[in-house]
Structure 1
Amino acid sequence: MSHLRTTAATLRALCLAALTAALLPAPAMAQTAPTALDSAASDPQREVSVAPDVRDSEIADRLTRILTASGWFDALDVEVSEGIVFIDGTAENDERKEWARQLALRTEGVVAVVDRIEITPEISWDLTPTWREIERLAERAQWFAPLTFASILILALAWLLSRGVAALARRSLRSRITSPLLLNFVARVVSIPVILIALYLILQIAGLTRLAVTVLGGTGLVGIIVGLAFREIAENSLASILLSMRNPFRAGDWIRVADYQGIVQNLNMRTTVLLTLEGNHVQIPNALVYKSIIENFSTNPNRRSEFTVGIGYDDSVLEAQEIIVAALRAHPAVLNDPEPSALVDELGASTVDIKVQYWFDGHAYSVFKVRSALMRQVKLGLQNAGISMPDSSREIIFPDGVTVRHEGADAAGDMRISAHPAPLLPEEDAADATAGEGDLASEAQDLQRQADAAPAPEEGANLLAEAPPR
């Protein structure tokens, strides 16, 4: 009896082993088959049942109903073979595709999922999301409305208060600061803290405490960065302030600076504008003007000018000096105090050079016209007195020599020379001014009329005071 029981147990074990050997290859193929497919296959992290209780048709039917009910998939086709789910169709995005794959993996009896869903995004004309965003913006606007109103009110009050502080600063400092530019600059500096306090209050109301502290603390750093970035502009602006404080010249003054000479037209925050004697506008950077040597011809109305006259060595220097000084004193443009002078300056190669110096009213007379008239009259006086004004000597060398024959020589070799005195020049040369010299008036008024008629090369507030009428 025991032998029969042992035989029956052995047969049952052999049958179970054969059944297991027959069933195991099928699941193995089901797990490895998707790797040969073009689409991705997902394997569940769970054990595969040897004897599944759910049929493939039931799995396919269940998944089809769920996916169809979602309404997210088109051309849907679900097939199940040996527990492997094959899903075909189209979806609008990857999120829906992933949702379908996870759904199939969580379904009972599913061994693996082959997801062959294609993504085909569709253009939606549904404006519901847009309206929702607009509604959210409207809600935020309603929340920001009181804050915005309070901020505008604070800024308006701060602006009015800053203007009042600036006006008060101008009124109290007007007697101490004569420069209009410096006065406006100081007034603006005094009013800036009012605006900064207003910005700090607005940021505090908005709950941006850290940002408020950063704004106040970073103002100095921002100023340094801006100053480095705009160094030349800041340098010219600072130079304009210093020039307006020092007042080395005024509008309408005749100055020479940085190899340029002309009448000052304008001093703005960037440049100094000159009108040259040729009628051209020259803009010189204020930093260069401040660093250069400024020669102002209009500060003192009396100006000194000079020119040089050369006479022969055989002529009397004393006589020439008397003639020159007499011609200078006779001219109405020359001042008697300081008195004119004629000084021996150099003993040249062929002439004795006399430097002629004189003073005249630079506001009333032109330096060029007066010099022309005086040189003409001095030349006339010297020629009428028989004083020669030879040209510079030149040395000519003849290697073979030159034969010189004296005409009019007697037998003894003496040469008779007839003296021919220099003819007197016309009396028109003795006039104080000729047609070519005009009325000897200064060119400043003519240049100023040209400047008034011409458009300014650079608009901007003039930081200079007008020169007093002359």
Structure 2
Amino acid sequence: MIELQEISNKTIELLPKIGLGIIVLFLFIMASWLIKKVITKRVKPKTKNPLLAEFLGKIVAFIITITGFVLFLHIIGLGGIAKNIMAGAGITTFVIGFAFKDIGENFLSGILMAFKSPFKVGDLIETNGTIGYVSELNLRESILKTLDGKDVYIPNSQIIKSPLFNYTIDGYLRYEITIGLDYNVDFKKVSDILKSILAEIPEVLTGDKKPMVVVDELATSTVNMRILYWIDTFTLKSKAYHLQIKSQILIRIVEDLNKNGIYLPADIVEIKNYNNQIIQTNKIAGTV
């Protein structure tokens, strides 16, 4: 009975300290949350790097929270435990780091990307066979929005380890179109027609990045001409507008070549008649 009474008395004595400690811990947690938001909000516009802003905010919030927890232990009279916790933090960190190796690897990769990121939100990139626009960045993963609208979550460690293509880091992208022509056509005439088409598309760049039309390959049944043109993705109406530009060019190629009596040849099909039966054929207008 005496021991129970002593425990009860000590508990009653500790209640004010526990209450004060909880209040202090709560205030530190709230302060860490608010300071993290302020840092993230102010740093992000200046660095234009959401990863760096998030990293700095989390580091400051973590330090403030740990400080509040240590103060809480001291207030309730467990200062010795606080020292032991700090002393064993190294071993604890090692054990936790080993247990959550993949998560830690992604987090460290995110930190590296925070200080030197190969892309930013809105860039069109390709990594691990996935092509898409960067829609969100955080310390664990990067989120891509593919051209068909899918959200792909890629761990930062995979991005660090794998080759990465940034198609819009400077805004310029080059596109190619290959067409097959009959060996008997006037290639200079075709080249002039193709160049005039490209000159009439306002989004196709000129000057140092003017379009090119070259004979690329002498294939089995066609002479392949390659059209190369540049566009500035920063000035496009939408992210997928480059597809409409390519569509415009392809439609104009077919229409303008047909107007000039130049038709794109189809694949040659060889028909063998083993029964000596008459095969009915119809001539298509515009073909030889």
TM-score (norm 1): 0.49
Amino acid at match of 1:236: N
- Secondary structure of the corresponding residue to residue 353 of structure 1: strand
Cα contact 1:266–1:272 (8 A) shared by 2: yes
**Greater CA drift, 307-316 or 249-258:** 249-258
Q: Distance in 1 between matches of 2:244 and 2:149?
A: 18
Q: Distance in 2 between matches of 1:256 and 1:336?
A: 27
1:345 and 2:212 equivalent?
Answer: no
- Secondary structure of the corresponding residue to residue 249 of structure 1: coil
Amino acid at match of 2:242: V
In the TM superposition, what are the counterparts of 1:200-349 in structure 2 within 5 Å? 201=74, 205-206=77-78, 209=80, 211-337=81-207, 338-349=209-220
Offset of residue 136 of structure 1: 5.1
Amino acid at match of 1:242: L
Q: Distance in 2 between matches of 1:240 and 1:354?
A: 44
Cα contact 2:128–2:163 (8 A) shared by 1: yes
- Secondary structure of the corresponding residue to residue 265 of structure 1: strand
- Within the candidate set 12, 20, 44, 1:145 is matched to 12
- Secondary structure of the corresponding residue to residue 119 of structure 2: coil
User: Residue deviations 1:119-178, cap 9 Å, x none?
Assistant: xxxxxxxxxxxxx5xx854541211333343344346446656848x959959x959x94
Cα contact 1:239–1:290 (8 A) shared by 2: yes
1:378 and 2:248 equivalent?
Answer: no
- Secondary structure of the corresponding residue to residue 299 of structure 1: coil
Offset of residue 317 of structure 1: 1.7
In the TM superposition, what are the counterparts of 1:91-170 in structure 2 within 5 Å? 137-154=4-21, 156-157=23-24, 160=27, 163=31, 167=35
1:188 and 2:61 equivalent?
Answer: yes
Distance 1:138 1:278, change over 3 A: farther
Q: Distance in 1 between matches of 2:218 and 2:206?
A: 28
**Greater CA drift, 241-250 or 366-375:** 241-250
Cα contact 1:308–1:355 (8 A) shared by 2: yes
Aligned residue number for residue 232 of structure 2? 361
Amino acid at match of 2:249: L
Aligned residue number for residue 391 of structure 1? 266
Cα contact 1:305–1:367 (8 A) shared by 2: no
Q: Tell me, which stretches of 5 or more residues in structure 1 are unaligned?
A: 1-131, 405-419, 424-470
Higher relative contact order (CA 8 A, sep 6+): 2
Distance 1:296 1:142, change over 3 A: same
Cα contact 2:185–2:262 (8 A) shared by 1: yes
Distance 1:161 1:139, change over 3 A: same
Offset of residue 215 of structure 1: 2.0
Offset of residue 340 of structure 1: 1.0
Offset of residue 329 of structure 1: 0.8
Offset of residue 294 of structure 1: 3.3
Offset of residue 395 of structure 1: 6.0
Matched residue pairs, number? 268
Offset of residue 217 of structure 1: 1.7
Offset of residue 325 of structure 1: 0.8
Q: Distance in 2 between matches of 1:373 and 1:174?
A: 43
- Secondary structure of the corresponding residue to residue 153 of structure 2: strand
Offset of residue 421 of structure 1: 8.7
Q: Distance in 2 between matches of 1:157 and 1:388?
A: 82
Q: Distance in 1 between matches of 2:72 and 2:89?
A: 12
Relative to its length, the structure with more helix (as a share) is 2
Distance 1:295 1:394, change over 3 A: same
Amino acid at match of 1:185: K
Q: Distance in 1 between matches of 2:180 and 2:104?
A: 53
Offset of residue 357 of structure 1: 0.8
Aligned residue number for residue 281 of structure 2? none
Cα contact 1:250–1:264 (8 A) shared by 2: yes
Rg: which structure is higher?
A: 1
Distance 1:402 1:326, change over 3 A: farther
Q: Tell me, which stretches of 5 or more residues in structure 2 are unaligned?
A: 279-283
In the TM superposition, what are the counterparts of 1:412-451 in structure 2 within 5 Å? 422=286
Offset of residue 308 of structure 1: 0.4
Distance 1:174 1:360, change over 3 A: closer
Cα contact 1:182–1:245 (8 A) shared by 2: no
Q: Distance in 2 between matches of 1:254 and 1:352?
A: 33
TM-score (norm 2): 0.75
